[in-house]
Amino acid sequence: MSYESVVAWLAAHAPDLTLIDQSASTATVAEAAAVLGVEPGRIAKTLAFRIGDTPMLLVARGDARLDNAKCKAELGGRPRMLDAETTLELTGHAVGGVCPFGLATELPIVADRSLRAYETVFPAAGSRTSSIEVAPERLAQLIGARWVDICTLPEPLSDQP
């Protein structure tokens, strides 16, 4: 059902976007980056969590980590990740294919500003093998996301020993 809900949602809201199905797992950031041939930061991962009693989704670049202090300052509380069963129930998507499209329940969605570092990003599209390519600004507009600064990026690798 999840993949089909995304196909229907894209047909209604963004028929110009092409669904990419690699027929290989893109369930993790590392798998998606390898299969799509892009750096991990260009994978737009969708995390399901709650602040207090409010479930929500975060779309962030693949190499970013949710920062508890930033999240508390920006969203008013510490994030608590949803378990797989609750994620499936609220989004209609199983872990590994969670995306902000074709949701089973209307949820608040935030997008981390770190996504803006890329011309295009690759969010999942409702299955463990599918994704789309979209500009971050267009992604946020399509899903009604509010831009936030709640993630930290990995430290650049040093060339010094």
Instruction: List pLDDT tens digits, range 118-128.
Output: 999 999 998 89
Question: Could you report the per-residue pLDDT of 101-151, keeping only the tens digit for each?
Answer: 999 999 999 999 999 999 999 999 988 999 999 999 999 999 999 999 999
Q: How confident is the model at residue 1 (pLDDT cuts 50, 70, 90)?
A: low
> In this structure, what token pair is assigned to residue 29?
């950031």
Task: Spell out the domains of the chain, with CATH numbers in brackets.
Answer: 2-151 (3.90.960.10)
Strands 109-112, 54-61: pairing is parallel
Query: 154, 42, 63, 54: which is closest to 107 by C-alpha?
Result: 54
What's the pTM? 0.92
Handedness of CA 74, 98, 4, 37 (dihedral sign): positive
Residue 42 phi/psi, 5-degree rounding, is -80, -5
C-alpha 36/C-alpha 4 separation (Å) is 21
Residue 114 amino acid letter: S
Residue 49 phi/psi, 5-degree rounding, is -150, 175
* Residue pointed to by tokens 């199983």: 94
The answer on pLDDT for 37 being more than 60 is yes
pLDDT recorded at residue 116:
97
Q: Cβ(133)–Cβ(119) under 8 Å?
A: no
User: Which SS3 state, helix, strand or coil, does residue 13 take?
Assistant: helix
How many residues belong to the chain? 161
pLDDT recorded at residue 76:
95
